[in-house]
Structure formats: structure tokens, C-alpha cells
Amino acid sequence: MRKSIMFVTMLVLLLVVAACSDDANSENAEAKQNNSSGGATEGQQESTEEDAGPVEATFWHAMSGAGQESLEAIVDNFNDSQDDYTIVPEFQGSYEEALTKFRTVAGTNDAPAIIQTFEVGTKYMIDSGAIEPVQTFIDEEGYDTSILEENILNYYTVDDQLYSMPFNSSTPVMLYNKDAFEEVGLDPDNPPQTFAEIKDAAEQLTIEGERYGFSILNYGWFFEELVATQGGLYVNNDNGRSADATEATFHGKEGLRIFEWIDDMNQAGTYGNFGSNWDDIRAAFQSEQTAMYLDSSAGVANTIETAPFDVGVAFIPHAEEAERHGVIIGGASLWMAKGINEDKQQAAWEFMKFLQTPESQAKWHVDTGYFAINPAAYKEEIVKQRWEQYPQLSVTVDQLQATKPSAATQGALISVFPESRQQVVTSLENLLQGTDPQEALDRAAKETNRVIEQQARANQ
Amino acid sequence: MKDSLEMEQPILTDQPLSWWKKSLNIRTACLYLLPSFFLFAVFLFYPMAKTVYLSFFLTDQQGIANVFVGLENYQYLLQSESFRKSIKATILFVLYTVPTGVMIALALALLTNEKVKGIGIFRTMYASTMGVSVAASSVVWLFLFHPSIGFFNKIITAIGGESVSWLLDPSWALVSISVTTIWMNIGFSFLILLGGLQNIDEQLYESAKIDGASYLYKLRRITIPMLSPTLFFVLTVSLINAFQTFGQVDILTQGGPSESTNVIVYSIYREAFVNYQFGTASAQSVFLFLCILIVTIMQFKFGEKKVHYQ
Amino acid sequence: MNGLLKKIALYLVLTITAFVVFFPILYAFLISFMTGGELLQGNLFSKSFHLENYQKAFERLPLAHYLMNSFIISLSVMIGQLVVSSMAAYAFVFIPFKGRDAIFFLFISTMMIPWEATMIPNFITIQQLDWINTYQGLTIPFFAMAFGTFLLRQHFKTIPKELDEAAQVAGISRFKFFVKIVVPYCKNSLITLGAYSFLTTWNMYLWPLLVTNNDSVRTVQIGLKQLRTQELATDWGVVMAGVVVVIIPTLVLLFIGQKYLQKGLAQGALK
């Protein structure tokens, strides 16, 4: 008797749960329709995929905040522009979290048609075997990639194949407080350009207890850029581009110069440490606690807009001993999944092409500050207006276009990049706490070598 | 013997009856335990077994266990400086948050156990942190700790002090996270302890009053012993939560600076989700499991003895 | 006179501590009304009140929908945990059987398994069950809770054994005894556990993100994540507005529920 009651209770419980799930599923479908309400005729989505109805392709992205807003608007534009395809954008958390999910669905039918992955995930994506190089579609259709920014394509081109479609792309630049420059008698239109010049300027700009001269975000990316702009390699085998990298090289002379430079300023009390959070260092700059800092080109417009003083933008500095090589592209690109319906791949490809139109790129550039992959976008009216308003923005594009293509500026290709980056950050933090520059750097290199080696062993 | 009183058991034949009857308890127990067991098996034991298995392997980037390496992952951990830092951070974090948090909550509960006008408002205010999620409170505290525009540094500089790098200085970061955590847990601990206090029989205090006992005497001799089951509960919850802290570390420091806040759970997350090193991540999990196991056994062995059940 | 002084001192201490504890919440409110520029100057009070941040937060995300999901999920987990844990606790206290202590210890040991360690295998399980983007994927893995079982066992133990024996003499079935006597007797601890599990579920952060791909069953905590950005500038005013929106329902719930919660807890005294 009581047992049967128990079972009934359990059963009811399970049924309730099951009912909930049905709700969830139908809601799910509803949500999808709502999402794409801009595009395609409603109600057709559920019908057979072959005839009628647009092909629905999901797009996993990691854009939050303003990026998400702009991205969704562009997707809506695409869905409105034609009747054959519907792109459904879905936020998946940070790049790491999105990748974790992708890893488990890769190669199955659950995989999204498009996934956005950060630049350091490039090698991982290529090796995963779960993606279709966009080169396949480029060749098939004879799509002309020469309309796109060469320095951006270089990063994602491996063995002469363009693997993914560049999307949100940025580079580092140096931002400085022009008012502060004038205040201490520096020329606001002629910012310091080498490590030594920065060091001198930082000394002049520092007001003890109030303002630091110079700061860098504790983020591996800036270190990579400063190595590259001196022509230095991050790992061996031409940055892992001629063959799989087996060893870190960033602790060579180029890397050491950076660490010693930061250490000198830190010891002298002219270097401000504002952590690894993008917003913190910007707030420090805006509240005049640091007079110069390195930022992403994507954050420039917003900083100029909100700062209560005149903001200058300059190329990132380089060591006196080395000539300027330029910058590596950062940000993320869009990858197409393999093993999914061909229609969906086609939808993904159409969307990628749509993204590269000058109109889309112009909107994207103005909304977010990321580069336009298609330089024609810079001639669009909204971009021109924007640049008129903030003439400093053109510096970011100049710096990118002045970059000399080489293995150094193409960027390193290693699958353990996220971890290596983390190790560099830890070393940088140790350096700021007083560890010897060479020692700090060697530690990061040693850890990087260890994971590279482990990866090689696991992949045998 | 009680079982013989069970009325509704199906009676089959004579011989199997005794066995059937003997096993009655265990069968009933199974029924009651079945849902828990089933769920544990699927969502805890199986993944844990898999974790132990993975800890003996090197995994490739797809997370597939490729190369059997025996105890190499464990050996690596034992000599890894990062891992030592993780252990240190975890232990310090537990020490910072658990005793302080419970003590503050107890103090607040004792304060609001006084029957004065308007006490309800104060109780509500103290309990309010319970209604703020980890993600929300971490974001707010991130702003409070802000190096340049945060409230704390504004106050410190306003009164002439030197601003503190709350989350950027390795010697401060863990303290800052602990403060945040203590704040987040106050509400819950407070409410439970207050409930416990109100459960204490008034008569005990009345008789103590007649004897002219001091406040402290009453606290030591009546309040604390009577509150001990509740205190034990709050301590256990805080301890488990402290060991498994993740959200605030992720939002406030990401384990930095110089790995000073890289508590084990966060380190596991990084190793598995960012670095895709499932082998070492799993080894760390096994290690953490053993640690908590020991702490809990100790707590039950020494702690529960001191608890008075009515 | 002495009594009055004491009272004043008590109120003073109460007020100061209450302000300190409540301050972060107040701070979030204040900031949510500021514009970007004002905020970055680090002012505490806004010169004028702006509601744009709230407007933006709601425009950007389906926050109401997220709140609803959070509520459904937290409530389901709460009920599930109460049912499953109280059943297990009942078995541990009232049914004597061989190896009970060993099994109990096995239960307790699950408390020590760090959730993050099981996350990836669990995620794969959920995916194979096709439970991605469903309520059950977000709730069922949490139904069994060693901690809840432990807590309830402690309280069930306080039920006099004689009661159980008397019930059996009277021929009351175990299940009836469980539902009619044990559960009402331990109402207070069930309420405590319920509140605990509701809040823990409400707080879940990483798991909901992993097992959902779209907005259909996503929770508010993910919403907060979406308001913050990485490389682009975060609009802190909007984030704080989001924080306020996210905490108001739980705060209100707490304000209303606190009385009941306390009452439930106090009822234990009547034993």
C-alpha cells in the first residue's frame, strides 16, 4: 500500500518534470521564432527543411554588452535582406565557455553552423577537425578576398588557406592624456614612441600619490604585441607557422627588454598597476590616475567620449634597439562547423559574406570600435562622420596598415595559447611584486614549454 | 521486533516468509533511498569515477584520454608551485571566512535577539544579503574595490590615507575576496542563528536571572550550548561553501594577482575549461575530494560530540 | 537611567551595523542612476536621477523572462530536494537496517565532491539525454542533496523514538507516519533547507550557462554576465541597473518571507 503511494509520488514528480520540459521545448521554439521575427515569414520555420521556409542556422557568439546589441542588429539586417536563410544568434558566455560547449557538440548535428572563437583558439580549431575552412567556399565561388584587410587575413591564413572569417578585430594602441602632457611641458602632438622615451615621459608625468606616468593592463596580449612590434617571435618554427611549435622563445631579448622596461618604471614608481580588468585601467585613466596606457583599438572611441580631458592616440611603443614591425591582430573570427547540413553551411557562408559588406562593417565599426575587415567601410558616410568627431580613431587604422607582414606580426600559432597567456600574466604580476625580470620570464617560458610538450605527447 | 507489527506486508509462504520479513526493513529503506541513490549514481559517482580515471591520463585537446601516465599528474601537482599556492589560498580563505563569518552572524543574531521596538527592521536589513546572488554581489563589490573610483579608496584618500590596491595587491586580494564572501554569507547565517536563539527556552534564562547570572555567564552556559546544533549546522554549511567558492573569484580576480586567490576549485576550472588539461584538473579534483573528506570526518568526530541534542 | 543609556547604545550599535551591512546594496542603487561619465569620476551621489540605465538593461535583455526562469528553476529544485532528501533522511533515522551507517557515510562523502570536478562528465550526460535547453537539465541533477539529507537527519533524530513505536503499535504505516508526523514535526528545518536550496539554485552561475544555448530557459545570473563585456567598455550604470533588477525580487521575497521563515524556525520551540 504505502509502496504504491511512494511510487505514485515518484511518478507524479517525474511527470511534472517531464511536463516542464515540454513547456521548455515549446518555449524554446517560440524563443527562436521571436529571435528571428525580423526575418523570414513566421510559422514556416517548423515545416520541412528542404522545401519552402528558410534554412535556419545557429550562430554561437561570445559578445556581450554593446557588441551583442550591434551583432544582433546586423543579424536582423541579414535575415531581412533575403528569404532563404535565417541566422539565429545565441550568446554562449566567454570565448572559453563557448569553446568548451563546442568541443562536446563538434562533429554532431547539434553543432552550431557558426561559432565565434578568439584568435588564440585558432590552432585549436584547425586541429580539432570539426570545422570546415572557409577557403572551401571561397574557392568554390571565387570570392575575392582581396577586398578584405590583408593584415587581418594574415592571422587566420595557415598554409595558404583562410580557415575562418575574421570578425571582431582589434589591435593595441597607446592612449595618453593630452592635458597632462601640456601641464608638464611635453608636446601633446608628439607622443613618446620608444621604451626610453616612454620612461622619461612617465617620470615627468608622475605625481607621487596621485598620478602614475604609464600603465599596461596585466593581459598577455599586450606582451605578445610588444614582442611582435620588435620583430620578436613568441614560439619557435616561425611562430609555429612553418611547423608545430616546440618551444617558447618569448623569453629572449625582445621579451626581456619589455620586462626590464616595466620593472625599471615600477621600481621608479612611475608605473601604475591597475590589474587585469579592462574597465579598471580605463577608469584609472579617466580619473587621471595614469597619464598613458595601452588599450585595445576597440575601446578607444568610448574612452575619448567619456574622458573629461583631451585624449591622444599613438602607436604602441617599441624598443630603441629594434625597428617598428607593427601589430598582430587580436579579437576573434567566425568558424564554420563541419558535419552539419550542407544547407546550413551555405547559410553560414552567405551570412559571413553579408558581414563583410561595407555597410555591415561600417555599422559594426561605428557601434563597437572593432576594425572594419573590409576597408571600403571606412568610406561609408557613418564612418566618416564618426572619424570627423573623433579624428584620433584613424591612428588605429594607420597602425594596422603600416604593419610589415612577417612571422612576428602574423602572430603565434600554438594550441596551448590560453594557458601560456595565463602564465605570462602570472609572471608579469610576479615582476610587479619584485621578482627579477629574467627569472619571471623564464618561469612563464618553462611552463609554456611543459604544456606544449604534454600536448605533443597526448596527440601522438 | 517492531517489524512484526507491520500490518500490510504481503504474506506468501511460511518458509520464505522469515527471509522476506527479515529483509523488510532493508527493502523499505531502499525504496526511500532510491531517488537519492539513483541521482547520486548518475550525477556524482559516475562523474567522480570518470574524474579519477582521467587523472591517470594525458588528454588531447578534445578531452579524450590518450596516454596513460600513471601517477605523473599527481607527481606534477606535488612539485608544482602553482598548486602549492592554490592549497595555501584555499586554506587561508577557509580560515578567513568561516570563523569570522559565523562570529559576526552570531553577534548580529545576539544583538537582534533583544526585544526592543523596531527590531524587525534591523533583522530584515541584516538578512538582506541573503537575497543578493553571488554574481550580483560580486559585481557590486568589484566596484566598491575599484582602485581609482571605488568607494573604499575614495573614503581612504578623503581622510588622507593612501589608497589600497584591494584586488591588485597579492597580500590584499584574498582578504578582499574573503570580506566579500563574509558579507554574502552573513544574511543566511544570521537568520539561521536567530531562529536558533529564539528556540531557546525562555525559562532557562528566567531561572538564571533569579540566580543573578551575568550576561556572559548566560551566554556561555545557556545560549551557546543550546545553540550548538544550529551552530554546527551553520559551520558545516560555511565550510562546504568556502571550499567550493567559485563565482566571486571568477568575477573579482580570476585567480590573480600572482595566483594569490587561485583557490583549488577555481584552479580546477581554469585547468579544465581554459587549458583543456583534464588530466591535471582531475588530479586536483581527487586531491580536493580527499581534503574535504578529511576535514569533514574530523568535524563530525570532534564537532558533533560537542553538540547537544535536546 | 542606566536602562535608557543601554537602550541608546543598543540602537546606536544596531544602526551602525545595519548601515554597514546594507551599504553595498544601497551603493548599487545609487550607481544605477548615474550616467557613464559621472560614474567614472567616482561620485557617490548622482547630480540628477537617470532612469535610462534601467531602460537600456530591459531593452538589451529579456530580464523579466530570465527572472521567471530563475524562479521556476529555483522552486523546482527546492521542492525536489525537499522530497528526495527528506525521504532519505527518514530511512536513515527510522528504518534500522544493516550497513546503515556505512551508507550514510557514503551519502555524506558526496558532499565533498567538488561540483566543478563533475561538471564536464555531467554536461556530456545532459547532452546525451537531450536535456540541453530544458528545465530538467537545470534542475534534476540537483535534486539529490547529501547536505539536505544530513540536515534533516539531525532534526529527525530529535523526534522521540517513542512516537515512532507508538505509531507502529497503532498500525500507522511508515509512509503515513512520515507524511503525517515527521514532516509537520520538522517543518522548521524543512523551511530552512528550502530557503537554502532556493537561494543556492538562484545563485547558480556556471552550470546554467553550460546547459543552455539560448534564452528559453536561461536565468538572471547569465543575464548579468551578458551585461558585462570583455574588451569593449562596460556600461557600469546599466550593469548596476541589472543588478538592482536581479536582486529586487529576491529581496522582496525575503522581506515577505522573513517573518514566516522566523516563525517556522521559532515553531521548533513548541516541540
Q: pLDDT band at A205, cuts 50/70/90?
A: very high
User: What pLDDT, in 10s, does the model give residues A293-305?
Assistant: 999 998 888 888 8
CA distances from A4 to B20, B31, C117 (A): 18, 11, 37
Domain total in chain B: 2
Q: Which residues 191-250 on chain A approach chain C with CB closer than 8 angstroms?
A: none
User: What pLDDT, in 10s, does the model give residues B95-107?
Assistant: 999 999 999 999 9
Q: pLDDT band at C143, cuts 50/70/90?
A: very high
Q: Assess whether pLDDT exceeds 50 at residue B260.
A: yes
Give kind and range of the element (H or E) at residue B188: helix B170-198
Burial class (CB in 10 A: 0-12, 13-18, 19+), A21: buried
Domain segments of chain C as ranges: 62-227
Top CATH class of C62-227 equals: mainly alpha
Q: Is the same domain home to B135 and B204?
A: yes
Between C233 and C185, residue with greater pLDDT: C185
Q: Is the same domain home to B9 and B154?
A: no
Report how far residue C216's alpha carbon sits from residue C205's, in angstroms, rounded to the nearest whole number.
16
Work out the percent of chain B whose per-residue pLDDT is above 90: 22
Q: Is the same domain home to B35 and B151?
A: no
Any domain includes B75 = no
Q: Assess whether pLDDT exceeds 50 at residue A28.
A: no
Any domain includes B277 = yes
Q: pLDDT band at A46, cuts 50/70/90?
A: very low
Q: What is the span of the domain harbouring residue B148?
A: 82-306
Between C266 and A411, residue with greater pLDDT: A411
Q: Is the same domain home to B13 and B128?
A: no
Neighbours of B150 (CB within 10 A): 23
Can you give the CATH number for the domain in which B88 is found?
Answer: 1.10.3720.10
Neighbours of C178 (CB within 10 A): 22
Q: Is the same domain home to B191 and B272?
A: yes
Q: Is the same domain home to B93 and B37?
A: no
Taking the alpha carbons at both ends of chain B, their separation in whole angstroms is 27
Mean pLDDT of B72-84: 90
Work out the percent of chain B whose per-residue pLDDT is above 70: 92
Classify each residue of A142-156 as buried b or exposed e, where b means 16 or more C-beta atoms within 10 Å of its C-beta.
Answer: ebeeeebbebbbbbb
Report how far residue B89's alpha carbon sits from residue B259's, in angstroms, rounded to the nearest whole number.
8
Q: Is the same domain home to B38 and B118?
A: no
CA nearest to B237, candidates C200, A296, A389, C179: C200
What is the value of pTM for the model shown?
0.82
Best A1, A64, A285 residue to mutate vs chain C (most C CBs within 10 Å) = A64
Report how far residue A62's alpha carbon sits from residue C209's, in angstroms, rounded to the nearest whole number.
12
Cβ contact (<8 Å) for C236 and A279?
yes
- Complex-level ipTM beyond the 0.95 threshold: no
**Domains observed in chain A:** 52-170+330-379 (3.40.190.10), 172-326+413-458 (3.40.190.10)
Nearest CA in chain A to C239: A65
Report how far residue A446's alpha carbon sits from residue B76's, in angstroms, rounded to the nearest whole number.
14
For cell 546503515, name the residue: C100
Q: Is the same domain home to B199 and B281?
A: yes
Q: Is the same domain home to B120 and B50?
A: no
Q: Return the pLDDT at C258.
A: 75
DSSP states along chain C: -HHHHHHHHHHHHHHHHHHHHHHHHHHHHHHTT--HHHHHTT-SS-SS---HHHHHHHHHS-HHHHHHHHHHHHHHHHHHHHHHHHHHHHHHHH---TTHHHHHHHHHHHTTS-HHHHHHHHHHHHHHTT-TTSHHHHHGGGT--HHHHHHHHHHHTTS-HHHHHHHHHTT--HHHIIIIIIHHHTHHHHHHHHHHHHHHHHH--HHHHHH--SGGG--HHHHHHHHS-SSSPP-HHHHHHHHHHHHHHHHHHHHHHHHHHHHHHHHGGG-
CA nearest to A386, candidates A400, A366, A369, A371: A366
Q: Return the pLDDT at B15.
A: 54
Q: pLDDT band at B94, cuts 50/70/90?
A: very high
CB A295 within 8 A of CB A303: yes
Q: pLDDT band at A190, cuts 50/70/90?
A: very high
Work out the percent of chain A whose per-residue pLDDT is above 90: 66
Encoded amino acid at C175, one letter: F
Report how far residue A433's alpha carbon sits from residue B53's, in angstroms, rounded to the nearest whole number.
39
User: What pLDDT, in 10s, does the model give residues C55-98?
Assistant: 888 888 888 899 999 999 999 999 999 999 999 999 998 888 88
User: What pLDDT, in 10s, does the model give residues A69-101?
Assistant: 899 999 999 999 999 999 999 998 888 888 888
Give the SS3 label for residue B139. Answer: helix
User: What pLDDT, in 10s, does the model give residues B286-309?
Assistant: 888 888 778 877 777 776 666 665
Give chain B's contact residues with A (Cβ, < 8 Å). Answer: 8, 28, 31-32, 35, 58-63, 66-67, 82, 142, 146-149, 162, 165, 167-168, 170, 254, 256-259, 270, 273-277
Between B151 and A206, residue with greater pLDDT: A206
- Which chains have 3+ CB pairs within 8 A of B? A, C
Any domain includes B61 = no
Any domain includes B188 = yes
Neighbours of B12 (CB within 10 A): 10
Q: Is the same domain home to B11 and B159?
A: no
Any domain includes B259 = yes
Q: Is the same domain home to B210 and B156?
A: yes
Residue A172, C-alpha cell as written in the block: 593595441
Question: How many beta-carbon pairs below 8 A join chains A and C?
Answer: 137
Q: Is the same domain home to B30 and B178?
A: no
Cβ contact (<8 Å) for C135 and A308?
no
Cβ contact (<8 Å) for C229 and A6?
no
Q: Assess whether pLDDT exceeds 50 at residue C183.
A: yes
Any domain includes B60 = no
